[in-house]
Amino acid sequence: MGGHTDSVYFKNKVGGFNITPSDTMHLFLHTTSSVATDTLASLLVDIAFNPGDTLNSHTDDHFYSLHIVSQKRRVFERDGEFTFTPSQPVPYGQKPQSGTFSASVTFSNDKTATLVGSFSPTGYQATYTGPDGVTKTIQYSTTGVVVSEN
């Protein structure tokens, strides 16, 4: 599509482009649009990971975090951001056991809604703050049953 720029690139923890075994790396997926009628202005996905000692095998890789930022135009949801961070690096092929997540969206009227939470082997909890400033916290069991709310 004309007017779109898509790029995929790696950076190490100091922002350089050298890939070093056992170093923190960031995989960036980035798209931008200069087309005024396109609702997506930009999207950036940042996956932080450690490629392990063997760059030619995934068996010793570890996932650190996921961060997504979007900017839109001509829609009610203008800016969005999502972050997912496990408490410990997640080995390749495994599921995270605990961690945090957050999401926010800014609307065209400059009001913001946020969701901030955490999860563990016993369940998860999330606090939502709406654009009106009202906050609600809910705690769930591992099966999704509401344990408490306020």
CB 27 within 8 A of CB 19: no
For the chain, the domains span 4-149
- Residues 6+ away with beta carbon under 8 Å from 107: 76, 77, 78, 113, 131
Rounded CA separation 85/64 (Å): 7
Rounded CA separation 15/22 (Å): 15
- What count of other Cβ atoms lies within 10 Å of the Cβ of residue 78? 18
pLDDT tens by residue, 61-104: 999 999 999 999 988 999 999 999 999 999 999 999 999 999 99
In single-letter form, the type of residue at position 147 comes to V
pLDDT tens by residue, 2-33: 688 999 999 999 999 998 889 999 999 999 99
Which structure tokens are listed for 9?
Answer: 């690139």
